[in-house]
Amino acid sequence: MYEVHSLSDEQLAGQRLMVGFRGKVLDDDLRFVIREMHVGGLILFKRNVSDPSQVAELCQSAKAYAVESGNPPLMIAIDQEGGSVARLGPPFTVFPGNRAIGAARSEKAAREFGTITARELKGVGITMNLAPVLDVAPQGLNSVMADRVFGEDPELVAYLGKAVIETLQNNGIPATAKHFPGIGLTTSDSHVDLSYLDVDSQLLDSTDLVPFRAAIESGVEAVMLSHVVYRDLDGQWPASLSTVIARDLLRKDMNFEGITMTDDLDMGAIDKHFDVETTVRRISDAEIDIALICHDRLKMEKAYRALLKAVRESEDARKKATASVRRIVNMKRKYLKVVTS
């Protein structure tokens, strides 16, 4: 059992990292990030998956090793949206994705996706889904999210997203609403470079934010922030590094009390423009709970050291880190039923 005030500085830093890795088993590299970096979560990709029994063994051994190492239990996440973004293929159930659910305007299909996906994730030891996508993509726009959204109607996206969130979470898998405050109007890919949106904040409020309000009202456990600069909100920083968007808009104005996390910090939008120390400082200032780093091991280690340095050198950073880790541990307690805050 874990209480946040009993965690070491190293654990306060590491619990705010969710990281990817390359193997399909608990090898020395994975042991290192769990034991030495005290990471709070792992994210799985297709590179980590061969079949259900292998995934189950990987998840079980990684979670057991975290506890053996004296750390809080691991969250193990995956992007299992259905459609074009589904890291688990056959024999796991293959769903057509949000676009098909939206075209059918089918709450039944949304809930079926949530029910079956939750059961299959839990069955192999995966404990968090980085879904659903709540972006709104207008017709006639070459949106980067065109094939991953429920549609162009904010109310429909809110309705179907809420159904997915509630069903996943009622079946024991925390959901993640993404990509706040909405990237449906984006035509360039954040994987490649930083994107800018010149969208009036009032228009954003009446369209893109509608599904996220519904998600918050339905109790969504986590919100993922995009790597897009919304010039009318914060002309300098992408949402994932913005105090204006992550803290003031999402936390204060929209009253979100759950987990906030960045999109993958290995994406070109961040990697090409901001060094790790700046990124970590901005995440801390914006009171973002989890830094997601999916590929670059060196960046993971730099981020861990920067988080640890901040905790040790700044009382304000320590307070913010403690608040973030408390939210993380509370979610683990709720869904893993093995920790206290």
The set of residues, in sequence order, having a beta carbon less than 8 Å from that of 142 and lying 6+ positions away, is 187
Length of the chain, in residues: 341
Which of 9, 147, 191, 296 is the catalytic position? Answer: 191
C-alpha span between 263 and 5 (Å, rounded)? 28
Q: Which residues of 182-219 are buried (b: 16+ CB within 10 A; e: fewer)?
A: bbbbbebebeeebbebebeeeebeebbbbbbbbbbebe
Q: Has 234 been annotated as catalytic? A: no
C-alpha span between 266 and 302 (Å, rounded)? 13
Task: Indicate the burial class of 140 (C-beta count within 10 angstroms; 0-12, 13-18, 19 or more).
Answer: exposed
Element at 19 (helix H, strand E): strand 17-19
Displacement of CA 57 from its chain's centroid (Å): 23
C-alpha span between 320 and 64 (Å, rounded)? 28
Beta bridge partners, 196, equal 229
Phi, psi of 339 (to 5 degrees): -130, 160
Measured between alpha carbons, how far is residue 286 from residues 41, 159, 255, 260, 290 in Å? 20, 29, 15, 10, 11
Which of 263, 264, 271, 289 is the catalytic position? Answer: 263
Q: Has 193 been annotated as catalytic? A: no
Say whether the peptide bond before residue 91 is cis (omega within 30 degrees of 0): yes
Beta bridge partners, 35, equal none
C-alpha span between 39 and 15 (Å, rounded)? 5
List, by residue number, the catalytic residues: 191, 263
